[in-house]
Amino acid sequence: MAALKPGVIALFDVDGTLTAPRKVATPELLQFIQDLRKIVTVGVVGGSDLSKISEQLGQTVTHDYDFVFSENGLVAHKQGKLIGTQSLKSFVGDEQLKEFINFTLHYIADLDIPIKRGTFIEFRSGMLNVSPIGRNCSQEERDEFEKYDKVQNIRSKMVSILREKFAHLNFTFSIGGQISFDVFPQGWDKTYCLRYLDGFHEIHFFGDKTYKGGNDHEIYESEQTIGHTVTSPEDTMKQCQSLFLES
Ligand SMILES: [Mg+2]
């Protein structure tokens, strides 16, 4: 489908931007995107994997959008076709990953905190998720750890040691949620997907977490994009209406 305004793309975050958090997109939104697509090229970039994004935006998502970037673009689809994949394992390599994982597990073993459970490192395709208490703790134990960590700074101390020890790997460490932090190569945030959008002279990005520390911040701030902060799917439609459909 040829868009009326060539070289212009509207690129959307998923959660909180096209759908209510962790919910399915409304029929109104899906129709709006198809109307918008007659005017500009449209794309989505989400942190989740493709199966989760399909649950939220529909099983035909890779055909409904010109570009679908799942896992921040580590998996990239253009007009329904897979055009690129990247993973932690192939990028960093098993030797260096093993070194990092071994050191981290030793560090956790020596850590004196009130309780420990299981799954201290979760290996995902684009990141490692590290939890000093272990991910399979109960909700109550999570809440307790979060309080304890606020006082003892277990995670931030651990991050500063890992950052220094593995400086050569150029990892980004991101403390989020209650019990863990994420570790991934520098640049593997949502800006990763911009490498596929060289041909566009106007990249409009819409996201709800554009503040510092939010998962839309880097791409919102990027010199390659024109960033727009939205508060809900309704707000996204409203802003797109005035930007693209009324001019
Ligand atoms: Mg969001």
How far is the centre of ligand 1, averaged over its atoms, from the C-alpha of 139 (Å)? 24
Give the residue from 169, 185, 201 where a domain finishes.
185
* Residues 181 and 195 placed together within one structural domain of the fold: no
Residue 204 within any structural domain of the chain: yes
Per-residue model confidence as pLDDT tens digits over 142-160: 999 999 999 999 999 999 9
User: Which one is predicted more confidently, 212 or 179?
Assistant: 179
Same domain, 132 and 211: no
pLDDT score for 175: 87
Q: What is the reported pLDDT for 212?
A: 87
Question: Confidence class of residue 2 from pLDDT cuts 50, 70 and 90?
Answer: low
CATH of the domain at 101: 3.30.1240.20
Report the binding-site residues: 13, 15, 22, 124, 135, 142, 180, 182, 208, 220, 225
Domain shared by 93 and 176, yes or no = yes
Q: Is the pLDDT of residue 1 over 70?
A: no
Give residue 37's domain range.
Answer: 8-74+189-245
Contact 164, 219 (CB under 8 A): no
User: Domain containing 28 — which CATH number?
Assistant: 3.40.50.1000
Q: Are 135 and 179 in contact (CB under 8 A)?
A: yes
Task: Give the number of C-alpha atoms closer than 13 A to the C-alpha of residue 158, restricted to the C-beta side.
Answer: 29
Both tokens of 79, joined, read: 């007009």
- Asked, for residue 82, whether it belongs to a domain, the answer is no
Based on the fold, state whether residues 151 and 201 are members of the same structural domain: no
What's the total number of domains in the chain? 2
Q: How many CA atoms lie within 13 A of 29 on its CB side?
A: 22
Catalytically annotated residue among 15, 64, 66, 189: 15
Instruction: Write down the mean pLDDT value for the chain.
Output: 95
Q: Identify whether 126 is part of a domain.
A: yes
Within-domain flag for 84: no
Q: Find all residues with CB under 8 Å of 238, minimum gap 6, and list them.
A: none
Residue 239 reports pLDDT greater than 60: yes
> 34: which residues sit within 8 A by CB, 6+ positions away?
64
In a domain, 83, yes or no: no
pTM: predicted TM-score of the whole model, two decimal places: 0.86
From ligand 1's centre to the CA of 15, what distance in Å?
Answer: 4
Q: How far is the CA of 231 from the centre of ligand 1 (A)?
A: 9
Task: Mark whether 208 and 176 lie in a shared domain.
Answer: no
Final residue belonging to a domain, choices 185, 203, 220: 185
Q: What is the pLDDT of residues 64-103, one digit of tens each?
A: 999 999 999 999 999 999 999 999 999 999 999 999 999 9
Are residues 148 and 114 both part of a single domain? yes
Assess whether 47 and 68 both reside in one domain. Answer: yes
Whether 97 maps to a domain, the answer reads: yes
> How many angstroms does the Cα of residue 85 sit away from the middle of ligand 1?
22
How far, in Å, from the CA of 111 to the mean position of ligand 1?
34
| Among candidate residues 142, 164, 185, the one where a domain is terminated | 185
Structure tokens at 132: 């000093």
DSSP string, the chain: ---SSTTEEEEE-SBTTTBSTTSPPPHHHHHHHHHHTTTSEEEEE-SS-HHHHHHHH-TTHHHHSSEEEEGGGTEEEETTEEEEE--HHHHH-HHHHHHHHHHHHHHHHT---S---S-SEEE-SS-EEE-SS-TT--HHHHHHHHHHHHHH-HHHHHHHHHHHHTGGG-EEEEEETTTEEEEEETT-SGGGGGGG-TT-SEEEEEES--STTSTTHHHHH-TTSEEEE-SSHHHHHHHHIIIII--
**pLDDT, tens only, 97-124:** 999 999 999 999 999 999 999 999 999 8
167 with 196, same domain? no
Q: Residue 113 C-alpha to ligand 1 middle, in angstroms?
A: 33
- Indicate whether 31 and 57 sit together in one domain: yes
Q: How much distance in Å is there from the Cα of 58 to the middle of ligand 1?
A: 17
Residues 96 and 157 occupy one common structural domain: yes
Domain presence at residue 211: yes
Residues in the annotated binding site for Mg(2+): 13, 15, 208, 220, 225
Q: How confident is the model over 133-147, as a mean pLDDT? A: 96
In a domain, 2, yes or no: no
Same domain, 56 and 117: no
CA distance 222 to 141: 38
Annotated binding site for alpha-D-mannose 1-phosphate: 22, 124, 135, 142, 180, 182
94 given a catalytic annotation: no
* Secondary structure, 3-state, 25-84: CCHHHHHHHHHHCCCCEEEEECCCCHHHHHHHHCCCHHHHCCEEEEHHHCEEEECCEEEE
Residue pair 14/56 in contact (Cβ under 8 Å)? The answer is yes
**Does 15 qualify as catalytic in the annotation?**
yes
Residue ranges near ligand 1 (ion) with Cβ within 5 Å: 13, 15-16, 208-209
Residues 167 and 101 occupy one common structural domain: yes
